[in-house]
Amino acid sequence: MDIKNLRFDTINLGHGSGGLMTRDLLDKIIFETFNNPILDQKHDGAIVKFDGQIAISTDSFVVSPIFFKGGNIGDLAVNGTVNDVAMCGAIPRYISLAFIIEEGLKLSEFISIVNTIKAAADQSGVQIITGDTKVVEKGKGDKIFINTTGFGEVHPKSNISTSRIKVGDKIVLSGSIATHGMAIMSERQGLEFESDIVSDTTNLNDIVNGLLDTFGDHIHFLRDPTRGGLSSVLTEIVEDTGIGISIFEDQMPIDKQVAAACEILGLDPLYVANEGIFIAIVDKDIVDSVINFMHNDVKGAKAVCIGEMTDAHSTKVVLNSRIGGKRIVSPLIGEQLPRIC
């Protein structure tokens, strides 16, 4: 779109009024960018058709800063929602998109975010089909917040549930941990340091769909370790199943720069947010095949088995350290890294 054709260069309260300024914002930016037959009906909702079970996931994004190395709040919102639907064992199809914009946001920044949302949606194979825009007074927000809801068809071979996890199952991690969280922290005011760390935000639906196509219900559980990091996902699993988990530090993939940044800030990488990796808990007999399959996709190139489900210490996650020691990985208490997604 040509910004010169617009009659404003910042968002103001009139753009949330529901009147002519709102229509100008929607017609010239939103509808023009995301045009598709469903959205183009311009209803307050959307009517879509699904042939079987559907998975639904809703999320809100309040990341600060809104632009960071590797992405911005826009592609983070799309990728995060697509991935949440995929972790249900579903194929993402549609997303609703709602903006809460602070008065004074530069139009150029808003357009950049919208364009990134469009690109991320296209890459994920999803359509934006409905949404909402609200504007709040200066000082009542932080530039922009985004709410999304994703809808997808459950994969016909999918049977994803904590109830299917059993002793002996292997835990496969698709890539390096803590990258997104440290990309955000490297740009935070007051915590800046020299770093080339780039957020790992990406969509994971294609690789997950491929796993389900190939291995079906031998994939027992899927989850992306976003807020609270890998530790939060694993501790939730042991609480829900009553089974223990053993993980191995020397198998844990982490970029050297990310590890160094965590050390500088005194953070445990196990608790730091991720936006482009997932864990798969799989039948022990197929773990090598799963890893080999994932290595054929750039988003699973670093996939590795990091541990297993065990009855040796029920309801506990135990980390086996590189030097031969053991420690219990406890749940995150409080907020370690606020406004990370």
pLDDT tens for each residue of 204-231: 999 999 999 999 999 999 999 999 999 9
| Type of residue at 139 | G
**CB-CB contact of 317 with 249 (8 Å):** no
What mean pLDDT value characterizes the chain? Answer: 94
Distance of alpha carbon 119 from alpha carbon 110, whole angstroms: 14
**CB-CB contact of 337 with 184 (8 Å):** yes
Distance of alpha carbon 40 from alpha carbon 47, whole angstroms: 12
Distance of alpha carbon 110 from alpha carbon 102, whole angstroms: 11
Distance of alpha carbon 163 from alpha carbon 243, whole angstroms: 11
pLDDT value of residue 7: 74
pLDDT value of residue 335: 72
Q: Is 90 exceeded by the pLDDT of residue 186?
A: no
Query: In a 10 Å sphere around its CB, with 0-12 CB exposed, 13-18 middle and 19+ buried, how is residue 97 labelled?
Result: buried
Distance of alpha carbon 114 from alpha carbon 161, whole angstroms: 34
Q: What is the pLDDT of residues 264-286, one digit of tens each?
A: 888 999 999 999 999 999 999 99
Query: Cα dist. 329→131, 204, 251, 256, 269 in Å?
Result: 40, 26, 16, 22, 12
pLDDT value of residue 337: 80
**CB-CB contact of 6 with 28 (8 Å):** yes
Q: Where are the alpha helices (DSSP H) in 189-228?
A: 205-215
Q: Is 60 exceeded by the pLDDT of residue 33?
A: yes
Per-residue pLDDT, averaged over 196-208, amounts to: 96
Distance of alpha carbon 285 from alpha carbon 231, whole angstroms: 25
pTM for the predicted model, two decimal places: 0.95
b/e per residue, 56-88, with b = 16+ CB within 10 A?
ebebebbbeebebebbbbbbbbbbbbbbbbbbb
Give percent of the chain with pLDDT exceeding 70. 97
pLDDT confidence bin for 3, thresholds 50/70/90:
low
pLDDT value of residue 334: 75
Distance of alpha carbon 137 from alpha carbon 71, whole angstroms: 26
Q: Is 60 exceeded by the pLDDT of residue 47?
A: yes
Distance of alpha carbon 131 from alpha carbon 287, whole angstroms: 41
pLDDT value of residue 152: 98
Element housing 112 (H / E): helix 107-124
Q: Is the torsion defined by CA of 256, 303, 271, 65 positive or negative? A: positive
| Type of residue at 49 | K
